[in-house]
């Protein structure tokens, strides 16, 4: 199976956000990954609701909104109204993750749970049924362009095994340090969705990188 590709706008030129979205619209990408950071859960601030609303006006692909914020439950309805199609929250930031995931789904969005690199898969034990996808961070969240953490391969394999054992259809999304070098190996280990920021937006031909990521399993 070809992976789903979700370019992360965090690495786009914010002065040319419209052009970046247009490029993604014309590409083989499947989703548009939007990183929302609050300067509290992560040591960086990115963009929030008004920017998501603007992106939604141009986007012809679903918006995959990754919340790196404390108390994400306070903003679930607001991100739905702003145009999120998929909404993921960090398990480390969610005291009532189970309830929040149910709320995300009840609004008609796909629900995702995110795990930091150090967070154990066992925390998923009682919420697997409530999620449409699990996002494994393969860098510490907060910044684009960081180096991929090698233990992520083992974590993906173990998660895949867990999902198969549970009869779950949840997809595995991998975020951080993904590029054309490691994409095929990630897919072989069980990744279904690849997020890539720096690899795409620092390239001379971003659409070509998206094409290579999309077709990585055959190369
Ligand atoms: C990091 C973000 C990522 C980031 C990935 O906190 O969640 O989505 O944009 O960027 P790259 O692909 O450059 O590591
Ligand atoms: Zn992200």
Q: Which CATH number characterizes residue 211's domain?
A: 3.20.20.70
Whole-angstrom CA distances from 73 to 53, 81, 87, 94, 124 are: 19, 14, 11, 8, 18
Question: What pTM was computed for the model?
Answer: 0.98
Instruction: Give the residue numbers spanning the domain of 8.
Output: 4-218
Identified catalytic residue from 30, 35, 38, 192: 35
Instruction: Evaluate if residue 219 carries a pLDDT over 70.
Output: no
**How far is ligand 2, taken at its centre, from the CA of residue 180, in Å?**
18
d(CA 64, CA 47): 14
Q: Which pairs count as long-range contacts for 154-157, CB under 8 Å and 24+ apart, including other chains?
A: 155/121, 156/186, 156/189, 156/190, 156/191, 157/189, 157/190
Distance 28 CA to ligand 1 centre (A): 19
Report how many domains make up the chain: 1
Q: Tell me: the pLDDT tens digits for 22-51?
A: 999 999 999 999 999 999 999 999 999 999
- Cα(141)–Cα(88) distance, integer angstroms: 13
Does residue 33 have its Cβ closer than 6 Å to ligand 1?
Answer: yes
The yes-or-no verdict on residue 204 having pLDDT over 60 is yes
| Pocket of ligand 1 contains residue 142 by CB under 6 Å | yes
Give 86-121 pLDDT, tens digit per residue.
999 999 999 999 999 999 999 999 999 999 999 999
């Amino acid at each position: 199976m070809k992976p789903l590709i979700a370019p992360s706008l965090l690495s786009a030129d914010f002065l040319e956000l419209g052009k970046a979205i247009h490029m993604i619209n014309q590409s083989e990408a499947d989703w548009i990954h939007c990183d929302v950071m609050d300067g509290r859960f992560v040591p960086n601030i990115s963009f929030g609701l008004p920017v998501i609303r603007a992106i939604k006006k141009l986007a012809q692909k679903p918006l995959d909104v990754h919340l790196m914020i404390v108390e994400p439950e306070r903003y679930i309805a607001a991100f739905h109204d702003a145009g999120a199609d998929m909404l993921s929250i960090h398990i480390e930031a969610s005291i009532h993750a189970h309830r929040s995931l149910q709320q995300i789904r009840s609004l008609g969005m796909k629900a995702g749970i995110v795990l930091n690199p150090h967070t154990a898969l066992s925390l998923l034990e009682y919420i697997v049924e409530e999620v449409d996808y699990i996002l494994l961070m393969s860098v510490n969240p907060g910044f684009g362009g960081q180096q991929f953490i090698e233990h992520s391969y083992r974590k993906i394999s173990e998660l895949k095994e867990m999902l198969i054992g549970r009869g779950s259809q949840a997809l595995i999304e991998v975020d951080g340090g993904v590029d054309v070098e490691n994409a095929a190996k990630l897919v072989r280990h069980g990744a279904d969705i690849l997020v890539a920021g720096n690899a795409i937006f620092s390239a001379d031909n971003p659409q070509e990188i998206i094409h290579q990521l999309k077709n990585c399993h055959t190369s």
